Amino acid sequence: MKSVVLAHEVDWAGWRAAARALALSDAAPDDVVWSVRNVSDLFAEPEDEAIAAPPGGFTVPRALVTLAETVIQARDPERFALLYRLIWRAHRGEKHILEMTTDPEVQRAQRLAQAVRRDTHKMRAFVRFREVTEPEGTRYVSWFEPEHYIVEANAPFFARRFATMIWSILTPYRSAHWDGEALRFDVGASPSEVPDDDRLEAYWRAYYSSIFNPARLKVGAMRAEMPQKYWRNLPEAAAIPELIRTASGRVDSMVEQPVFSDPRPSRIVAPPAAEHGSPLHEAAREAADCRRCPLWEPATQVVFGEGSPNARVMMIGEQPGDQEDLAGRPFVGPAGQLLDRAMQEAGLDRQTVYVTNAVKHFKFVPRGKRRIHEKPGTGEINACRFWLDLERATIKPALTVMMGATAARAVLGRAVAITRERGQPMPLPDGKGGNTTGFITVHPSYLLRVPDEDAKAREYAAFVADLRRIVELAA
Ligand code: SF4
């Protein structure tokens, strides 16, 4: 029997070296016992002798290594043995082991990887920093309770995202500290170490209230996605009861509040989210793990399309913005609110359309504490077309509306001059009957950027006129 004691719960380097040496020695998985050194010895020098690898070639599929890197973060004491068993089998000739989708060990590893990815998504979406003033300066501190051992793998994401802040993320099993230049890990912490006196909390509440759209309120879904332990750590959660209580009044005031002159009051209706288990819901779940281009990495989360699966009209924008990236939903920021209002004026029922973006992750450049929108490049548009094509093939809309040059490029596969091609219906080779009509208009964010008020009102009216034409074409 061989014993391997790893330095800590996600000792990837230690596990990989030991697994390689064991496989080359042809050590059967049942003859290996894996354990982790006591947490109090976290920074002690290893006492165990490393398992020496005999000479010889060792190759396993890259995809298996990638899977193992994720699974090792799972909070499952059997994961080291499970991964070694898969590596050992691959080394002994089962090179296509991951294609054996009904194999119980492969299935178990995939389930663990999925759980880790879901936890990763939650950490990136729900970590909130609180501001602490110390003699040395300002520090931002967050408390988070992950399901799995994901802090080490995700700390670099927060270092990139909040590069100019000095921060600490405290969790029960591990703490990560960023001093503006380097990451440092320490043992876990207790919630009492997160300061109560909290100006950032007030900021988060105010910010959340400003992006809160009562017409899209789905408390049940929010709670299902956000277990109690995340919920209670979110400063904005405290604001939600009051926001819910005043929701109907806020809907009315949204309807009454003019964006430009001459608003025509009507109801704002939330677009339906894709049903659990539906093809679109499954696609959205898979897109959360997409790595087809680098945009996933600095973004908070994927922002998939939403709306009626039977929509006759699909409206395509460019990419999620800052608020969409945080909310995980398309068109919830200023451009989305403008689109909502213009659709109401045009008589285009949001309930009957599907709204999405050509690119599903937010591309930005950090500037101080702000994230400045950056236009996606052709490579990113082409990479993300996979998801757009999938949405189009599933929805099969009668009318595909391309809002802006990025959407037009994604659909038509070529550069488009919006002013020249705007407002001209064109045949597209898809849709319910085999054909659909394409229609190009401006992106609503363009209207927000027009500096002159008169010109802004003219452009808005032209946009509403385009939307009315869309209503006619889709009838
Ligand atoms: S932007 Fe699109 S292609 Fe790129 S990672 Fe995100 S979902 Fe994938």
282 inside domain: yes
210 inside domain: no
Ligand 1 center from residue 264 Cα (angstroms): 37
Q: Which H or E element spans position 472?
A: helix 453-474
Q: Helices (DSSP H) in 58-198: which residue ranges?
A: 62-71, 79-91, 104-126, 151-161
Same domain, 301 and 409: yes
Ligand 1 nearest-atom number relative to CA 287: 7
Same domain, 438 and 296: yes
Same domain, 273 and 371: yes
User: How far, in Å, CA of 13 to CA of 101, rounded?
Assistant: 27
Bridge partners (DSSP) of residue 307 are 354
Ligand 1 center from residue 173 Cα (angstroms): 31
Give CA angle at 212 (118, 138), nearest 5°.
75
Same domain, 338 and 292: yes
CATH of the domain at 429: 3.40.470.10
Same domain, 74 and 148: no
226 inside domain: no
Which residue, chain included where needed, has tokens 């909040």? Answer: 162
Same domain, 276 and 370: yes
Q: Helix (H, G, I), strand (E, B), or coil: what is residue 438?
A: strand
Ligand 1 center from residue 326 Cα (angstroms): 16
Return the pLDDT at 455.
93
Return the pLDDT at 197.
52
Same domain, 77 and 186: no
Ligand 1 center from residue 248 Cα (angstroms): 36
Same domain, 89 and 185: no
How many structural domains are present in the chain? 3
Q: Residues with Cβ < 8 Å from 292, sequence gap 6 or more? A: 383, 384, 386
Same domain, 86 and 136: no
Pocket probe for ligand 1: among 380, 381, 390, the residue whose CB has the most ligand atoms within 8 Å is 380
User: How far, in Å, CA of 160 to CA of 213, rounded?
Assistant: 29
Ligand 1 nearest-atom number relative to CA 290: 8
266 inside domain: yes
Return the pLDDT at 251.
36
Q: Helix (H, G, I), strand (E, B), or coil: what is residue 435?
A: coil
108 inside domain: no
Of 197, 212, 247, which residue is a domain's last? 197
400 inside domain: yes
Q: Residues with Cβ < 8 Å from 37, sequence gap 6 or more? A: 5, 6, 7, 8, 44, 46
Return the pLDDT at 264.
26
Return the pLDDT at 270.
41
Write out residues with Cβ below 6 Å of ligand 1: 287, 290-293, 295-296, 302, 359-361, 380, 383-384, 387
* Low-confidence residues in the chain, pLDDT < 70: 38-57, 195-277, 369, 430-435
Of 181, 197, 213, which residue is a domain's last? 197
Say if residues 471 and 315 touch (Cβ distance below 8 Å). no
Give the residue numbers spanning the domain of 61.
Answer: 2-103
Return the pLDDT at 37.
83
Ligand 1 center from residue 274 Cα (angstroms): 19
Ligand 1 nearest-atom number relative to CA 299: 6
Tens digit of each residue's pLDDT (9 = 90 or more) over 450-474: 989 999 999 999 999 999 999 999 8
User: How far, in Å, CA of 459 to CA of 454, rounded?
Assistant: 9
312 inside domain: yes
| Residue 226 identity | M
Query: Cα torsion for 360, 365, 367, 369, to the nearest 10°?
Result: 30
225 inside domain: no
Return the pLDDT at 42.
46
Same domain, 384 and 351: yes
Of 197, 215, 230, which residue is a domain's last? 197
Say if residues 175 and 186 touch (Cβ distance below 8 Å). yes
Ligand 1 nearest-atom number relative to CA 363: 1
Neighbours of 378 (CB within 10 A): 11
Same domain, 97 and 15: yes
Ligand 1 nearest-atom number relative to CA 376: 1
Same domain, 284 and 418: yes
Return the pLDDT at 205.
56
